């Protein structure tokens, strides 16, 4: 314990915020394993905690490690093992753990004014101006919340208020949260006998997601046929709804679903379809937004400006702050939905979000994501060529996925390999959270090529070990 405390003090002392390299000294020597992982202290603490704490994620159950502290791109567990962070929590701590500027901003307001309902504060004024300056196309009517799901619920209410319509169309395998309306835009409880109250509400429909690796409709050359998807959607709007669709709800990139990007021509065509039927395009950027793909909005890759956007996760780098934004011309709708909440926009939250945006600008983070993102893309393409169980690699910037299959021609998902690669790489010192047969990766956006390569090395070694165990090599 004394060793751990000293190492935290050393890391902070040795890493004053002089430059964008604030995290580099502390990352030296990572990964560093001093016990097998998870170590004895981790296992005991996990056991004690899980006597009471129920509903843990599968990742925690498969690797019961207990973390003590994080700094920059590394995490240290209670046994003193130091890991490279390849998931940013769950797409949250995107600017690194305990970024000095962000921690300082939260700390300052925690001693000055913690909550004052939704009255204006100096830091809220600055955040509003900053957000309006970075968002495209008059997306500047804003409300703040404290988790992604609540922002999504507000977006659903706002869509109804703007359009005076009540139906919603979303896509298979998107994820938007776990409360009534947000879960109604997803398929979380598939195959379960009971959905325990979280079943889909009336008026919420789902249509196929355009997954280029597993397309439902293809052209004669076998590539995904975007037009066929758009035709199906149009037909569905006309025949499968009561003609009252308020919004088309989509993640710009399927995050939880496995870092799945639609084809390049998809969103421009979807936007046109929405315009034809006066349907709002609601872009849920809770996971993909705020720089993860190299743009403030992932949707900007396709030059499309949505009507509604939600932000979360990276927005406060770990401080719970989220946002729902509509276009200026629709701002009045937020007056109709009683948009404010108890914690949304409290001074600490505004300070965290403002500091995050400033850090992204000051440290040229979008550029880093684009540059190192190219390294990721190249290296992963090579891995795909060399490994029989890698069916597909996907991603832009730092929103990445490697899809494991039993056979490249049948594309049968290789779930067991996903679990084994997850555990093996974690034991080598990689803190990450893949899902099933798709190895999801979302490293902190501050990471440079040296550590990007180190993370992929640990994953590739683990894949090779699994291939050998299963007789592929």
Ligand X SMILES: Cc1ncc(COP(=O)(O)O)c(C=O)c1O
Give the footprint of ligand X on this chain (CB under 6 A).
Answer: 147-149, 152, 175-177, 251, 255-256, 284, 286-287, 312
In the bound state with ligand X, the residue whose beta carbon lies nearer, of 417 and 439, is 439
Least spacing, CB of residue 176 vs ligand X, in Å: 5
In the bound state with ligand X, the residue whose beta carbon lies nearer, of 79 and 284, is 284
In the bound state with ligand X, the residue whose beta carbon lies nearer, of 308 and 420, is 308
Least spacing, CB of residue 286 vs ligand X, in Å: 4
In the bound state with ligand X, the residue whose beta carbon lies nearer, of 152 and 247, is 152
Least spacing, CB of residue 283 vs ligand X, in Å: 10
Least spacing, CB of residue 442 vs ligand X, in Å: 11
In the bound state with ligand X, the residue whose beta carbon lies nearer, of 153 and 225, is 153
In the bound state with ligand X, the residue whose beta carbon lies nearer, of 148 and 391, is 148
SS (H, E, C) the chain: CHHHHHHHHHHHHCCCCCCCCCCHHHHCCCCECCCCCCCHHHHHHHHHHHCCCCCCCHHHHHCCCCEEEEEECEEEECCCCEEEECCHHHHCCCCCECCHHHHHHHHHHHCCCCCECECCCHHHHHHHHHHHHHCCCCEEEEEEECCHHHHHHHHHHHHHHHHCCCEEEEECCCCCCCCHHHHHCCCCCCCCCCCCCCCCCCCEEEECCCCCCCCCCECCCCCECHHHHHHHHHHHHHHCCCCCEEEEEECCCECCCCCECCCCCHHHHHHHHHHHCCCEEEEECCCCCCCCCCCCCHHHHHCCCCCEEEECHHHHECECCEEEEEEHHHCCHHHHCCCCCCCCCCHHHHHHHHHHHHHHHHCCHHHHHHHHHHHHHHHHHHHHHHCCCEEEEEEECCEEEEEEECCCCCCCECHHHHHHHHHHHHHHCEECCCECCEEEECCCCCCCHHHHHHHHHHHHHHHHHHHHHCCCC
By beta-carbon distance, which residue lies closest to ligand X?
148
Structure token pair of residue 286: 């809770």
In the bound state with ligand X, the residue whose beta carbon lies nearer, of 286 and 420, is 286
In the bound state with ligand X, the residue whose beta carbon lies nearer, of 38 and 316, is 316
In the bound state with ligand X, the residue whose beta carbon lies nearer, of 149 and 346, is 149
Least spacing, CB of residue 318 vs ligand X, in Å: 12
Least spacing, CB of residue 182 vs ligand X, in Å: 6
Least spacing, CB of residue 79 vs ligand X, in Å: 29
Kindly give the pairing relationship between strand 280-284 and strand 245-250: parallel
Least spacing, CB of residue 287 vs ligand X, in Å: 4
Least spacing, CB of residue 152 vs ligand X, in Å: 5
**Alpha carbon distance 168, 182 (integer Å):** 11
**Alpha carbon distance 448, 372 (integer Å):** 6
Least spacing, CB of residue 266 vs ligand X, in Å: 17
**Number of neighbouring beta carbons within 10 Å of residue 97:** 23
In the bound state with ligand X, the residue whose beta carbon lies nearer, of 90 and 230, is 90
């Amino acid at each position: 314990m004394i060793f751990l405390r000293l190492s935290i003090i050393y890391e902070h002392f040795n890493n004053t915020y002089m430059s964008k390299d604030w995290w580099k000294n502390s990352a030296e020597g990572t990964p560093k394993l001093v016990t097998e992982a998870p170590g004895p202290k981790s296992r005991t603490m996990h056991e004690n905690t899980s006597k009471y704490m129920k509903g843990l994620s599968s990742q925690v159950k498969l690797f019961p490690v207990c973390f003590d502290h994080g700094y920059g791109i590394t995490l240290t567990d209670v046994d003193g093992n130091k890991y490279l962070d390849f998931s940013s929590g769950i797409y949250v701590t995107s600017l690194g753990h305990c970024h000095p500027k962000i921690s300082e901003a939260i700390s300052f307001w925690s001693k000055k004014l913690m909550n004052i309902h939704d009255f204006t504060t100096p830091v809220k004024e600055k955040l509003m101006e900053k957000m309006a300056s970075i968002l495209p196309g008059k997306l500047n009517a804003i409300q703040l919340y404290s988790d992604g799901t609540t922002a999504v619920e507000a977006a659903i209410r706002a869509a109804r208020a703007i359009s005076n319509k009540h139906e919603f169309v979303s896509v298979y395998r998107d994820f938007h949260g776990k409360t009534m309306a947000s879960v109604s835009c997803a398929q979380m409880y598939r195959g379960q006998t009971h959905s325990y109250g979280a079943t889909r509400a009336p008026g919420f429909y789902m249509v196929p997601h355009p997954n280029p690796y597993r397309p439902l409709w293809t052209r004669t050359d076998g590539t995904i046929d975007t037009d066929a998807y758009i035709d199906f959607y149009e037909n569905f709007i006309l025949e499968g709804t009561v003609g009252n669709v308020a919004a088309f709800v989509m993640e710009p990139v399927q995050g939880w679903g496995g870092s799945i990007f639609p084809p390049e021509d998809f969103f421009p065509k979807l936007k046109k379809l929405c315009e034809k039927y006066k349907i709002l395009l609601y872009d849920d950027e809770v996971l993909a937004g705020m720089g993860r793909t190299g743009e403030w909005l992932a949707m900007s890759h396709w030059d499309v400006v949505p009507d509604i956007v939600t932000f979360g996760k990276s927005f406060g780098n770990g401080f719970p702050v989220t946002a729902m934004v509509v276009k200026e011309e629709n701002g009045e709708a937020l007056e109709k939905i009683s948009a404010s909440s108890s914690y949304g926009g409290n001074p600490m939250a505004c300070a965290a979000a403002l500091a995050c945006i400033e850090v992204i600008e000051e440290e040229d983070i979008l550029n880093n994501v684009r540059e190192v993102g190219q390294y990721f893309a190249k290296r992963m393409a090579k891995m795909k060529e060399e490994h029989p169980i890698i069916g597909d690699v996907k991603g832009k910037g730092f929103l990445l996925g490697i899809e494991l299959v039993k056979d490249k021609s049948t594309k049968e998902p290789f779930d067991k390999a996903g679990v084994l690669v997850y555990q093996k790489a974690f034991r080598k010192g990689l803190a990450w959270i893949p899902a099933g047969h798709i190895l999801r990766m979302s490293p902190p956006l501050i990471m440079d090529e040296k550590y990007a390569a180190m993370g992929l090395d640990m994953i590739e070694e683990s894949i090779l070990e699994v291939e050998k165990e299963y007789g592929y090599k």
